[in-house]
Structure 1
Amino acid sequence: MSQLSEDILYLIFKILKDDKRTLYSCLLTNRTWCRTAVPILWKNPWKLKDSGWKQMLNVIISHLSNESRNILKNICIWILVSIDYIILKFTNKESNSILTNEIINLFINGSRKFTHLYIPYNFNFQIHLIPEVRSCLSCNANINDDIVAGLADICKSIKKLELFINDDNYGIIRLIEAQQNLFNLDLKMHQGKPYTKVLASFINLKVLELDCGSDTWECLGNLSLPYLQILRTKNVPIKGLISLIENTKGYLIEIKIDDTYHYIPDNKRIIQVIYQKCPNLIYLKLILRNDNILEFENLLVNCQNLTGLYILTNVPIGDYTIVVDRKFNWDKLFEILNISSPKSLFKFKFKFDNFFISPKLISLKLFFDNWKDRHSIYLQLSQMEGDIENLIVEKYKPGIVKRFNNMILNDEFEWI
């Protein structure tokens, strides 16, 4: 292994890009392994900002001149702050421009191969004037609008943008319109209304994440994202989501709708829109109202590629949880899942924070007993009372239920 060429090593290390522990070990093997692994480990150095920022800060300090080190030493921030704080603190201080320039040039120069650039809140350094800034960008838009507009002139191949928008920034619009390869957008709008000018720029967008507590989403009614494949939303009113899905052209494969309370007619309507406009759907997360369980059967029949299903029976609103139905007919839901589920469907999550609307053991038992000649189930539940784990282990595992967890810990299916 120690004699492998650098090209082969690079291909191997690239597969291990998310296994930081193994890559760190590779650094210690020999000089060739170290030289090959370092660019992969540091391709996106800001991933270390939360878990390993002290180590990253020490590496950065080791590359600074004695003059810059003395500046840091004199203000006693060797291990107290992160690198973005250092840059922000001295960006507008002429006396410390040497330190700022050294740190910026350390990361942005012709020999670096970074693919990510995170711009912190209120950043005011004229980064767009540095010729080498041409990498993929993950951008916080609460920065000087001129900087964002300047980046639009030199960055044309951004693939992913994370934007925190409070205003209808002309710089953000220019940056978006300039992109040729944008496929993933994460929009967070903390206050005010969303702006049609921004959203209308994403004609070829494939991934959209919306997170907003505002009720003023009328602009979604006229928004057309025909090639959208993944839609993840929080706190977005249901009528706007219905219109957004209606304006797609059948490419949606994942829909996640979180923290959105809606009444029975709107719940029925969004179920209908999904099975009418999303025949290739693979993963779905949504609230299901008790009165619309029969309508949900049509979705199962029409979405024959469905693999994962996450059913919510309540909605978290701030510090509270709203139970949308006082009773939920789990027997009926399990019945139509047994009868009408596509053959591809085998991953289930059911969330119920209220004990009184959780399924009973007898209902789950009937569900398992009728799951015949199908892919073994991967199942996660909100914690429910009753000896469900022993029931599954003794009678249904591994033939009917292959994997089981009696407490939902996150929103994603990790069982691939």
Structure 2
Amino acid sequence: MTCQLPSDCLNEILEYLEEDRHTLYSCLLVNRLWCEISVRILWRNIWNCEISLQRRYQILNTLISCLSNESKELLRKNEMSILTPTPKLPLFNYAAFCKFLSINYISETVSNVLEDELLSSRKHLVTEEIIKMFANQITSLRKLFYYNNYIDFSFPYFPGLKDLSELYCSSNLSPNFFYQLSQICHNLHTLSIQFNHYVTPNELKQLISLQKNLEVLVLSAYDDVSWEDVIPALKNNSNTITKLYLYGDSSNLPFSFISLLSNLQEFIFSFLDGSYFEDFEQLQHVNFPNLQTLKFPYQYPRPEYITKFLENNGKNLKMLCIGDSNKALNLSIANFCPNLKRLFKIFSNNELDILKTIFNNCQYLESITIWCGKYYLSEKEVFETVANYSPINFCELKIDNIESHSDISSEDLETFFISWKNRIPKRILSLIIIKDLYNNLDDYEENMKIIEKYENLGVIRFSTISLEEENKEEY
């Protein structure tokens, strides 16, 4: 006699596999119940930009097969013979399972897959019919990506938008889109706006001001475009926003509005160009009692501004990232940030004592990311300092070789592992190499033999990640 799990229990179990798509594909083959639950999870978010062209073709073919008879007839009337003949209807209403919708990715998929088959106007029609299908079938949409207005996306027929919690959009979309959305959507949790037009529509400002529980705000502005127009609309959300991410290329963008965000917990200030950021001067004296994560991965305001900011807010910080080297600023981390758990900071080749001071003063530090190279600390110096000065909770070291090849010898590497093995209390060290243009310590056979030896002894856990993966994780 066979015993089968109740569907609600099985559903809860398979939910844990949401990120493990390979295992979910295997679950499709168990039986009808397993297949139904796995398909629903797999189709929740199919817009993975890293999937192959063949996979995109399969997705598009499935979506086209799910179109209504009216849509299929419309495509036929426009002489589009792109449907794969199938004797049976699709097993599931796949579009109804989607909770994440990317308007632009649908358009890109149609354009890429049908590149040599259809004229631009006909590709546009295919895209519109697929979007209409999603709009009619999705009853509760969580996340919407919509950046370019070459698709006229209106939605009187889209009831699922009432439950939208995350919106990623650009400021040059149709004002009618923002107006209609503002009439039904007042509970956005996350709002990301890419500013690419000099005038911000009033309808977008209204949408922002009507939000009741906005927690995550992402503002991006490049090519001398500004987010200044929307700042007054943020007033109603000044107490609810806990995460603020700013991206741009100009030091003239306004930052003083940040002082209104009294419950800010996470702040990323990511600018590839610009200097001084004088508007930040007003923020150096502001106290953010809940701030735990602070990141300046590229350009940052004057060091004296950041130092004063850390003096007022460093005590509660758990994560700090500052992508440049400044001796006074590095010392301020040791003086004002005693509760850090994760740190990314660049140290020049004459700042080894500052690293030691940070280890001594930041006794809760668990992870550090360090650049090594000709103008920075050497790997040998970093290893010796980590072994002898890092606090008892320390368990992760990330190294990125910048502008030089790895100069660590196999003897120095083994000495470090022996020192770590003898530390009390014992903790497994996660050693992560960020793969850049230069040879890293894992590119040498003797080093890898030693790494494997101490992995087998349970002393270290070794891995590598690409620079792109690291940037995605940190910034």
TM-score (norm 2): 0.67
Name 1:380's counterpart in structure 2.
432
1:38-83 alpha-carbon deviations (Å, 9 max, x no partner): 332222332378444333322321222344235545475949x962
The more displaced of 229-238 and 13-22 is 229-238
Which of 441, 447, 450 does residue 391 from structure 1 map onto?
450
Q: Are residues 1:219 and 2:279 paired?
A: yes
Q: Are residues 1:339 and 2:396 paired?
A: no
2-structure distance, mates of 1:116, 1:406 = 31
**Superposition deviation, residue 180 in structure 1:** 4.5
Name 1:64's counterpart in structure 2.
67
Which of 390, 402, 411 does residue 460 from structure 2 map onto?
402
Name 2:170's counterpart in structure 1.
141
Name 2:327's counterpart in structure 1.
268
2-structure distance, mates of 1:190, 1:249 = 30
- SS of the residue 2:402 aligns to: coil
Q: Are residues 1:189 and 2:218 paired?
A: no
Q: Are residues 1:230 and 2:293 paired?
A: yes
Which of 121, 133, 154 does residue 126 from structure 1 map onto?
154
The more displaced of 279-288 and 148-157 is 148-157
Q: Are residues 1:103 and 2:130 paired?
A: yes
1:81-101 alpha-carbon deviations (Å, 9 max, x no partner): 96235999xxxx999999777
Aligned-residue RMSD, C-alpha = 4.2
Name 2:33's counterpart in structure 1.
32
Mark the runs of 5 or more structure 1 residues left unpaired by the alignment: 315-322
The equivalences for 1:6-405 within 5 A come to 6-47=7-48, 50-51=51-52, 52-72=55-75, 74=78, 78=82, 83-85=106-108, 102-109=129-136, 112-122=139-149, 123-127=151-155, 130-133=158-161, 134-144=163-173, 146=175, 147-148=177-178, 150-166=180-196, 169=200, 175-192=207-224, 193=250, 194-196=253-255, 202-215=261-274, 217-223=277-283, 226-237=289-300, 239=302, 242=306, 245=310, 248=313, 250-257=315-322, 260-262=323-325, 267-313=326-372, 324-325=375-376, 328=377, 330=379, 332-355=381-404, 358-371=407-420, 372-373=423-424, 374-381=426-433, 383-384=440-441, 387-394=446-453, 396-399=454-457, 401-405=459-463
TM-score (norm 1): 0.75
The more displaced of 373-382 and 200-209 is 200-209
- SS of the residue 1:18 aligns to: coil
**Superposition deviation, residue 16 in structure 1:** 1.0
